[in-house]
Amino acid sequence: MLLLILIYTLLPSTLLPSPEHLLEQSLSQYSKNISFNYRIIENKLGHYSKAWQTKEFIHSTKVNFSENKVLVFDEVKDGKVYKSQEYFDDDLYYKIPHGKEKHVSVSEKDRIEFIKHSSIYSPVLVLKYLLKNKKQIKKRADDSYHVFYLNHNNGRISVKIDKRTNLVKYIYCTSYDSFYGNVRAKTIYHDYNIASDFCFPRKITQEKLGIKTFESLVSLGEGSAKIKLPFNYKMGGETEKIKEEIKYKKYSKNIHFLILVNSDSRVLIAEFDKHLLLIGAPHNSEIGEQIIQKCNDLFPKKPIKYFSFGHHHPHYLGGVRSLIYNGTEIITLGQNKKYIEQIASFSHSLNPDRLHKSPKEIKFIVFKDSLRISDDEFTCGIYKIGDLSNHTSDYLIYYFPNEKMLFQEDGLWIRKGIGDLGINPRTRGIYDGIKKWYLDVGEITQAWPLSSHFKTELKMDELEALNKK
């Protein structure tokens, strides 16, 4: 045996099995014409009360695999049942999302993302994709696994094939997210059924961002369902990234708004004697950079000394990496400090922002319940209302005593022109927060959304009247 290993390791590499051969050998163990049923537990990140909080969804899924196409029928319960359909082949991808009647426009990039996502059903599409791009495959030495990977413009796909069984044990797919940076999904194939003439894993799990995002239990199904594509169906082109359009609006001598047209929201600039406080920076570093640039243009002599966000959702915090790079002090509650450190530490190598290229220490100002920032004439008070907001555990409101104005992010849900629908729990949260801190408010303003049928400015009298109903 030792002699055999020695001969094997001394063989010229041209005589060793090629990646193509090994991938084909692995693929041949999975049936190409088969249907499976899945019971999938999904833990989904969302805009919930705390950072990293997830919500559990149970999916009932059928997937039909055939030589050249894959059909996915998914049902997920969230109050009522929402259905979706997906069709995939070598050239096309077609999708009717959950709860929709008609298909949506998808691009080639979406087709590739489907291949990555399909790893929660089976390793077959990823194996086929690697084989199709065999010239670009690279391999990495490993004692227990054949490790092959492929870089593509939106990330990396790699596969670890068990050397003993030639079956896939792990698939890693990296994609770019403008908030989280490089996100690597690790899919693990457990408990292979290898008694019959083909193999399949009875359980598949996936982890992403430290969360067990999917756990899928697999059983054999029947393949009778069909998806009929519309006549002359074509996929759409890649959507171009739209640059944020920023407009300026003065509120008072010391308070200024930047209106972010595409994000449908506004951020507040509090102008002090020698510096600025910025409240909110939506979505990502690119928008963060644009906001910083706009502040520098409008107030060339006043640096953005402080940045604060009213709660941890990406719509208000997403640009924080740019502000850290800018040397701005990040004002936050203790409960969010670790989260900001994580956001700052994530790799953005697939689309490097300035913080990725040149990491900076974070300057924090951590507070517990309230904080005042003032100069001789102008004051901003920051107050935690937390769970009282009926939205997030870290919710802040900003009060400007000179103007008697209260700024907050997404707590006002009063329909324009209709005051008699009563008060929404989140609106009541803002009301209770104002009373808790004994704030003498004249007007409340909202960061998001701006263009909907909800009011974005509300007089305190109106809120008092609604609260009495």
Residues binding Zn ion (CB under 5 A): 313, 410
What is the nearest approach in angstroms of Zn ion to the Cβ of residue 280? 11
- What the block records as the tokens of 382 is 């920051």
Q: Which is nearer to Zn ion, 110 or 410 (CB)?
A: 410
Q: Which is nearer to Zn ion, 355 or 412 (CB)?
A: 412
CA proximity to 428, closest of 398, 459, 456, 464: 464
What is the nearest approach in angstroms of Zn ion to the Cβ of residue 445? 16
**R_g (Cα) of the chain, nearest Å:** 27
Q: Which is nearer to Zn ion, 289 or 409 (CB)?
A: 409
Q: Which is nearer to Zn ion, 62 or 391 (CB)?
A: 391
Query: Residue length, the chain?
Result: 469
What is the nearest approach in angstroms of Zn ion to the Cβ of residue 45? 14
How far is the C-alpha of 2 from the C-alpha of 48, rounded, in Å? 57
What is the nearest approach in angstroms of Zn ion to the Cβ of residue 392? 6
Q: Is there a cis peptide before residue 401, judged by omega within 30 degrees of 0? A: no
User: Torsion over CA of 158, 164, 169 and 171, rounded to 10 degrees?
Assistant: 10
Which residue lies nearest Zn ion, judged by its C-beta? 313
Run of H or E residues at 140: strand 138-140
How far is the C-alpha of 115 from the C-alpha of 70, rounded, in Å? 10
Tell me the backbone φ, ψ of residue 435, rounded to 5 degrees: -70, -40
- What the block records as the tokens of 380 is 């901003």
What is the nearest approach in angstroms of Zn ion to the Cβ of residue 345? 23
Cα 256–chain centre separation: 30
Q: Which is nearer to Zn ion, 201 or 429 (CB)?
A: 429
Q: Which is nearer to Zn ion, 137 or 447 (CB)?
A: 447
Q: CA dist 125 to 68, 88, 157, 171, Å?
A: 10, 10, 12, 11
- What the block records as the tokens of 123 is 């390793």
What is the nearest approach in angstroms of Zn ion to the Cβ of residue 405? 20
Q: CA dist 282 to 152, 314, 319, 375, 419, Å?
A: 28, 6, 6, 27, 29
Q: Which is nearer to Zn ion, 95 or 315 (CB)?
A: 315
Cα 272–chain centre separation: 35
What is the nearest approach in angstroms of Zn ion to the Cβ of residue 389? 9
What is the nearest approach in angstroms of Zn ion to the Cβ of residue 460? 22
For 153-225, list the strands marked E by DSSP: 155-162, 168-177, 181-193, 200-208, 211-220
What is the nearest approach in angstroms of Zn ion to the Cβ of residue 395? 8
- What the block records as the tokens of 450 is 């701006």
Q: Which is nearer to Zn ion, 86 or 410 (CB)?
A: 410
What is the nearest approach in angstroms of Zn ion to the Cβ of residue 448? 8
Q: Which is nearer to Zn ion, 62 or 313 (CB)?
A: 313
What is the nearest approach in angstroms of Zn ion to the Cβ of residue 82? 22
CA proximity to 180, closest of 148, 150, 155, 159: 155
DSSP string, 430-450: HHHHHHHTT---SEEEESS-S
Q: Which is nearer to Zn ion, 173 or 317 (CB)?
A: 317
| Burial of residue 64, with CB atoms counted within 10 A of its CB: 0-12 exposed, 13-18 middle, 19 or more buried | buried
Q: Do the Cβ atoms of 74 and 118 come closer than 8 Å?
A: no
Q: Which is nearer to Zn ion, 64 or 408 (CB)?
A: 408
